[in-house]
Amino acid sequence: MDFLRFENQQYFYLFLLLPIFFLLFFVARISIERRLKRLGNWGTLQQMLPLRSKARPWLKLVLFSLAFSCMVLAAVNPQLGYKTENATSSGVDVIIALDVSRSMLAEDIKPNRMERAKLAVSRLIDQLENDRVGLVIFAGSAITQVPVTSDKETAKMILRTINTGSVQVQGTAIESAINRSISSFSQVKMGSRIVVIISDGENHQDNPIPAAIRAKENDIIIHTVGVGTQQGAPIPVYQNNQLNGFLRDKEGNTVISRFDEGILRQIAQEGGGTFSSGTGPDLGLNNILQQIRNMQQQEIETTQFSEYESRFHYFLALAIIFLLLEVLIFERKSKWLNKIKLFEVS
């Protein structure tokens, strides 16, 4: 079955110029008639201008309008494509649970923990090949930002928009992130689902261990990635995109955010996965990528569409034909054709 789409739909607005063309032409013709009538008797003037044509200017206008319409359609670029059969590939479902709490703004890893984590996740997504990916973000609560999908470009685009304001409730609710990730999976074959938690592990306000155990019981493996350093760093506070000092506690002391390795190691151990950390571009995610590639693959069925083929050139050819006809037809009658009286437009 063929599917039609228009690549540049905004150019459809150019069709609004067509009635303006006709209005201007009509006003111009009335103005010419009035000027001619001022020169003398209208009947005498018509006898003095035997080659003057009333129909030809209108015909030229119609041809020009058709050429203009075809040029607009060429700019819109109609495209045809067709739906193919469902394609099957082998892969793994991977949900990335990313910590977006304020402590992720600490700059012990440059430019900060959040931006380094987003960069590492983007690179991981590029290497997932036939696997599907989802994105859960969490702070004091967790939300599914991207459901499990094969559309990795969309996942990366949404990933770029994430910041510490994406979740209103502050904190580090890793248990909520695990539960949200579990519920985001569809029912698929055993051994093909993975959760990758990326966090500094600090100030966790719940107990994620039972959730990790429950995930493992449901054949969902949990890997963890630590972001930050043991020395830590203060948490910058921004106002109107300008640094406005650092976060302070109730006593007025500057809060130093330190990476909590212990809880993340325990989650990975109980979740049947591995713990990784690092300060390089991949944050240790390459180790987890190898674990993903060694997993049992599941069959993933996706609907494929052919590439759309452009059809603008047909309308461009018609526009050229109409323009040539418009140029070849003169507003005045031809003496020679008038004598033959064949295909003559009066």
What domains sit in the chain, N to C, each tagged with a CATH number?
A: 2-77+311-340 (no CATH), 86-303 (3.40.50.410)
| pLDDT at 302 exceeding the cut of 70 | no
CA dist list (Å): 220 to 164, 175, 191, 267, 301? 27, 15, 7, 13, 20
Average pLDDT over residues 54-75: 90
- The per-residue pLDDT for 73 is 94
pLDDT of residue 166: 92
Name which residue leads in pLDDT, 115 or 280. Answer: 115
Q: Could you tell me the pLDDT band of residue 305, with boundaries at 50, 70 and 90?
A: low
The mean pLDDT of 155-168, rounded to a whole number, is: 92
131 within 8 A of 91, measured Cβ to Cβ = yes
User: How distant, in Å, are the alpha carbons of 4, 17, 76, 323 from that of 13?
Assistant: 19, 8, 10, 21
State the Cα–Cα distance between residues 197 and 258, nearest whole angstrom: 17
Q: How far is CA 132 from the centre of its chain?
A: 17
Q: Which residue has the higher pLDDT, 55 or 142?
A: 142
Structure tokens at 108: 């012990």
Please report where in the chains the tokens 């969309």 appear, as a residue.
154
Residue 295 confidence (pLDDT): 75
Q: What is the pTM of this model?
A: 0.62
Q: Tell whether the model's pLDDT for residue 20 goes beyond 80.
A: yes
Whether the pLDDT of residue 337 is over 50: the answer is no
pLDDT of residue 144: 94
Beta bridge partners of 93: 132, 193
| pLDDT the model gives residue 133 | 93
Q: Tell me how far apart the terminal alpha carbons of the chain are, to the nearest angstrom.
A: 48
- How much is the mean pLDDT over the chain? 83
Distance (Å, rounded) from C-alpha 335 to C-alpha 51?
7
Closest C-alpha to 76, from 3, 14, 1: 14
Higher local confidence (pLDDT), 320 or 258: 320
Residue 342: the pLDDT is: 41
Question: What mean pLDDT is predicted for residues 59-88?
Answer: 83
Distances (CA, A) of 104 to 111, 165, 236, 255, 330: 11, 12, 10, 13, 74
Confidence of residue 37 (pLDDT cuts 50, 70, 90): low
Average pLDDT over residues 59-76: 93
- Find the range with the poorest average confidence among 192-196, 199-203, 222-226, 287-291: 199-203
Residue 301 has pLDDT above 70, yes or no: no
Confidence at 249, pLDDT banded by 50, 70, 90: confident
What CA–CA distance (Å, rounded) separates 330 from 246? 78
Per DSSP, what are the bridge partners of residue 246? 236
The residue behind tokens 């685009």 is 157
What's the pLDDT score for residue 206? 79
Higher pLDDT, 41 or 288: 288
